[in-house]
A and B are shown apart, each in its own frame.
Chain A
Amino acid sequence: MHTPYARRLTFWRRVALTPTLAVFLLLSILPLLNLAALSVHNVRWEEGRASWDYVGFAHYARLAEDQLLHTGMVNTLIFSVVAVSIQIVLGFFLAWAVSRIRRARILYRTIFILPILVPGILIGAIWKLMLNYDFGLVNDFLMLFGVMPQDWLGTPHLALPSVIIVDIWHWTPFCFLLLLAGFESLPQDLHEAALVDGASAWTELRYVYLPLMMPVILVTFLFRFVTSLKVFDEIYLLTGGGPGSSTEVISYTIYRTFFTQDQMGYGSAMSVAVLFAISMLMVLAWATGRAGRREAA
């Protein structure tokens, strides 16, 4: 039953939302529409002015033949799945360990989150120096044990794993923080009950904490997975997509198409296609999660 008061309330709620909606439209939808419009045009510059030539879906047709884009998509998926999975596992165990500590918990938490506080450009500089073939600390250290130096960023089969390691170092603390919040929100009496039942730490982790933490783990994984698909700074700073196309990722391909090659129309088509693919991925993940929850209920 809709009373006049309820109707008025609904009306004012909608009015109150209007400015937010307007800002959202201005900042999100309009640029997307502009991107979509650009993706069906070629941009030429003459006498200092831009002219847009309509090319239909020609740019989208090119996407199917673009081998570098395909390599970038495969590399991005490998990068995201491997890096984020390891980050979740490491973050989970670190969070679990820190949640069990009684003393100096804040100190440990501060130490563990340090890497996400370091600016990306510094991370690039630090790791590029550490992984340098001729002068890097990593090779110097390995040579102490008689291991031959490796070109971590310049060898095709080592470059992507090296960038993944840097990403794990950089982003594990983020997973750790979210998962620690999850552990700290669990009721303390569960731990006490497990103690009374004589459960070992491993049994408690496996049968009590893991099932209870699963929603937090899933959210953390999804959140981090989506952000990892946008990886750019580590690639830009460490390898530039090379050697060859070994570390080519989607965002770097789009960047080079837009900014190095100055192909705005084609770069826009790439962006729209990638946006669409990621949205589909998210919808699929959301639908799978929902179906899982229904089954569990």
Chain B
Amino acid sequence: MSSGIKRRDVSFGAAAAGALASIPWTGSVRAQTAKQAPFTIVINNSPWFNGFRKTVEAYEAETGNKVNLDVNPFGGSLEKQRASVRAKDGMFDLLIMNGLYYQEFYHGGFLTPLNDIDPSFKLDPQMVRYDNTVYWNEANKTHDPKGKLMSVPVNGNIPILLYRADLYEQHKLKVPDTWDDLLANAKKLHNPPRMYGIVQRGARGAPNDISYDWWPYLNSFNGSLFRDEPKGDFTITINSPEAKAALDFYIRMAKEAGHPQTGGLAQAQIIQNIVTGRAAHALLVIAAWAQMDDPSKSAVVGKINAARVPRSANGKPAPVLGHWLGGIPRNVPKARQAAALAFLNWFQGQGSQIKYMEAGAPPVRQDVLSDQALWKDPKNRWMPAMAESSAFTRLMWSIPEGSQIGDVLELRLNQAVIGQMTSAQALNAIADEAHSIMQRAGYKTGKIAALS
């Protein structure tokens, strides 16, 4: 990426280098970011991509190393990654993998453990571990911290609640703690078609929209896909009364305070409604924040604030991990593996992470996320919500069959939202289909009694 490097980026590079020199582990960083072979990153074009691109530019300016970016839509990136790792010689040296599908790369043995490339490489203690999803124990197929280090977090996407702070002030509303509070607030502000109380990501996605949006409801209503996945109990419980209560509430929210066409709204339309001032609330990934205060994209600059996702009356908040991990394939030359690792090593530095945040992407270092000095800056007013939410984050699943189950969820949940099925029918259908998928894959699985 030789184009688009500005003087301030170069200045930042110098500043970042200075900052890096002040912390003890940077000796190896500088050694590794010495001249490296050009390498290619395959990445999705999500709302945080611009922040990542600018950070890559800063890396190039600082080190003189060359990085190529292969940018794709979400689904397209997955397809390219699969094709590359399954070939004899891989095209891509660093895969940016989503929290919903990285599992298949671990299970399939497509990645090189990072310490096989450089035994001295360490994940910085300040880097967030995201349910230990960076580790992999091949023997028992779990995210055991004693297993091998397979990836470095690249993005800490989790959903947060965005709300119109100006309208809250005007109507003297309190930031919602529970889903009921959110529904009450949304109903007060609901005045369609000029203002929707809430916009929900209810579309059948490719690959994930409605399931990602609904999962915080499911988990906080104490529902789950499996009875106890970490302990290997894959009994399907998605059609439990708790899950039904979560889905009924989600649909009720759409009907009473939502967009009339919730079943057709994907993430892009949610952002569109928020930034054009037509929606009072939305659950959105933190990466979308950069657009809220961008005057070239937003009509509500300075009017949006962020809070952690609500909880059910008798449950905990349950924001879902939609994070991204950087992993290095085994089928690329060693020089390119080393170059990709050198980049990851540089990327996890505090200076790089501050730059990353300033460029509009959520950082993945705890000391940056909890830096009170940064919190005071009004443009970072999302940070307290992110910090609070981080304590409750949960993974949707850790099995490689997630892409199949996700597809089933997207269809059936969407059918429930648009009224093609009742919530009970949709959840029973998901349970049946997920059970078949798990059975075919050889898991010890089962079903609970169908909802009536």
Q: Which residues of B contact A242 (CB under 8 A)?
A: 203-204, 263-264, 411, 414
B418 touches A243 (CB 8 A): yes
- Check A47–B263 contact: CB distance below 8 A: no
Of B109, B203, B206, the contact of A243 (CB 8 Å cutoff) = B203
**B423-446 interface mask toward A, CB cutoff 8 Å, 1 = contact, 0 = none?**
000000000000000000000000
Q: Assess the B203–A133 pair: CB atoms within 8 A.
A: no
A155: chain B residues at CB < 8 Å are: 261, 264, 418
Q: Within 8 Å of chain B (Cβ to Cβ): is A154?
A: yes
Please pick, from B108, B404, B415, the residue contacting A245 in the complex, using a CB distance under 8 A. B415
Interface bin, chain B: 35 or more
Complex Cα spacing A45 to B331, Å: 14
B-contact 0/1 string along A42-67, CB 8 Å cutoff? 00011111100000000000000000
Q: Mark B106-139, 1 if CB is under 8 A from A, else 0.
A: 0111100000000000000000000000000000
The reply to whether B403 and A260 contact each other, CB–CB distance below 8 Å, is yes
A134 with B404: CB separation less than 8 A: no
Decide if A69 is an interface residue (CB 8 Å cutoff). no
Whether B261 contacts A151 by the Cβ 8 Å rule is: yes
A156→B403 CA distance, assembly (Å):
25
Q: What CA separation (Å) do A241 and B408 show in the bound complex?
A: 13
Tell me if A262 and B104 are in contact (CB < 8 A): yes
Chain A residues whose C-beta falls within 8 Å of the C-beta of B366 in the assembled complex: none
* B residues near A47, Cβ cutoff 8 Å: 109
Q: Which of A134, A236, A243, A261 contacts B204 (CB 8 A)?
A: A243
Q: Which of A141-163 contact B (CB under 8 A)?
A: 149, 151, 153-156
Would you call B407 and A261 a contact (CB within 8 A)? Answer: yes
Q: Which of B65-94 contact A (CB under 8 A)?
A: 75, 78-79, 82, 85-86
Any A CB within 8 A of the CB of B420: yes
Q: How far is the CA of A10 from the CA of B386 in the complex (A)?
A: 78
- Which of chain B's residues have a CB closer than 8 A to the CB of A240? 203-206
- CB <8 Å contact, B265 and A263: no
The yes or no answer to B311 lying at the interface (CB within 8 A) is no
Residue B147, interface by CB 8 Å: no
Determine if A244 is an interface residue (Cβ-Cβ < 8 Å).
yes
Assess whether B104 is in contact with A154, with CB atoms less than 8 Å apart: no
Check A206 for interface membership: any CB of B closer than 8 A: no
A78–B330 Cα distance when bound, in Å, is 47
Interface pair A45/B265, CB less than 8 Å apart: no
Chain B residue nearest in CB terms to A266: B440
Q: Which of A165-217 contact B (CB under 8 A)?
A: none
Complex Cα–Cα for A90 and B263 (A): 33
Q: A256 near B: Cβ within 8 Å?
A: yes
Which residues of the partner chain A approach B415 to less than 8 Å between Cβ atoms? 244-245
Closest chain B residue to A155 by CB distance? B261
Residues of A within 8 A of B418 (CB): 154-156, 243-244
A149 to B206 CA separation, bound complex (whole angstroms)? 26
**With a CB–CB cut-off of 8 A, which chain B residues contact A278?**
none
Chain A: residues with Cβ within 8 Å of the partner, total of 30
Q: Confirm or deny: B384 has a beta carbon within 8 angstroms of a beta carbon on chain A.
A: no
| Chain B residues with CB under 8 A of A260 | 75, 78, 206-207, 403, 407
CB distance from A91 to the nearest CB of B (A): 31
Contact A154 B414 (CB under 8 A): no
By beta carbon, the residue of chain B nearest A247 is B204
Q: Which of B195-252 contact A (CB under 8 A)?
A: 203-207
* CB proximity of B244 to chain A, nearest CB, Å: 19
CA gap between A113 and B207 in the complex, in Å: 35
Cα–Cα distance between A33 and B79 once the two chains are bound (Å): 23
- Least distance between B332 CB and chain A CB atoms (Å): 12
Contact B264 A45 (CB under 8 A): no
Measured CB to CB, the closest approach of chain A to B220, in angstroms, equals 26
Q: Is B393 an interface residue (CB 8 A)?
A: no
B24 in contact (CB, < 8 A): no
Q: How far is B278's CA from A149's CA once the two chains are assembled, in angstroms?
A: 15
- Chain B residue at smallest Cβ distance from A48: B109
Residue of B nearest to A152 (CB): B264
Quick check: is B36 within 8 A (CB to CB) of the other chain? Answer: no
Nearest CB on B from A127, distance (A): 14
- Of B110, B276, B407, which one neighbours A48 at CB under 8 angstroms? B110
A96–B104 alpha-carbon span in the complex (Å): 57
Bound-state CA distance A244–B417 (Å) is 9
Contacts of B404 in A (CB 8 A): 261-263
- Which one, A48, A68, A135, A156, contacts B420 given CB within 8 A? A156
A51 to chain B, nearest CB (A): 11
Q: Does A259 contact B (CB under 8 A)?
A: yes
Contact between chains at A261 and B403 (CB < 8 Å):
yes
Q: Is B389 in the interface zone, CB < 8 Å from A?
A: no
Known: A48-B85, A243-B203. A256 touches B261 (CB 8 A): no
Partner of B264, one of A49, A133, A149, A236: A133
Shortest Cβ distance from A151 into B: residue? B261
Asked if B204 and A151 sit within 8 Å, CB to CB, the answer is: no
Chain A contacts for B204, CB-based, 8 A: 240-244
**In the complex, are the beta carbons of B264 and A48 less than 8 A apart?**
no
Give the chain B neighbours of A241 by CB distance below 8 A: 204, 411
CB A173 to nearest CB in B, in angstroms, measures: 29
Identify the closest chain B residue to A257 (Cβ). Answer: B407
CB-defined contacts of B78 to chain A, threshold 8 Å = 260
Set of chain A residues within 8 Å of B108, measured between Cβ atoms? 45-46, 48
Question: How far apart are the CA atoms of A45 and B75 in the complex, in Å?
Answer: 20
- Which B residues are in CB contact (< 8 Å) with A244? 204, 263, 411, 414-415, 418, 420-421
A134 to B270 alpha-carbon distance, docked (Å): 11
Q: Which residues of A contact B330 (CB under 8 A)?
A: 48
Residue of A nearest to B404 (CB): A261
Give the residues in chain B near A46, CB-CB below 8 Å: 108-109
Given contacts A134-B276, A154-B264, A244-B415, 11 further A-B contacts (CB under 8 A): A45-B86, A47-B109, A48-B86, A134-B272, A156-B420, A243-B263, A243-B414, A256-B407, A259-B75, A259-B79, A260-B407
A-B pairs with the 6 shortest C-beta distances?
A: A154-B264, A45-B108, A242-B204, A47-B109, A151-B261, A244-B415
Residues in B lying within 8 Å of A, measured CB to CB: 75, 78-79, 82, 85-86, 104, 107-110, 193, 203-207, 260-261, 263-265, 269, 272-273, 276, 278, 330-331, 403-404, 407, 411, 414-415, 418-421
**What are 11 of the A-B contact pairs (CB < 8 Å)?**
A48-B109, A134-B269, A134-B272, A134-B278, A240-B204, A240-B205, A242-B203, A242-B263, A243-B263, A244-B411, A261-B404
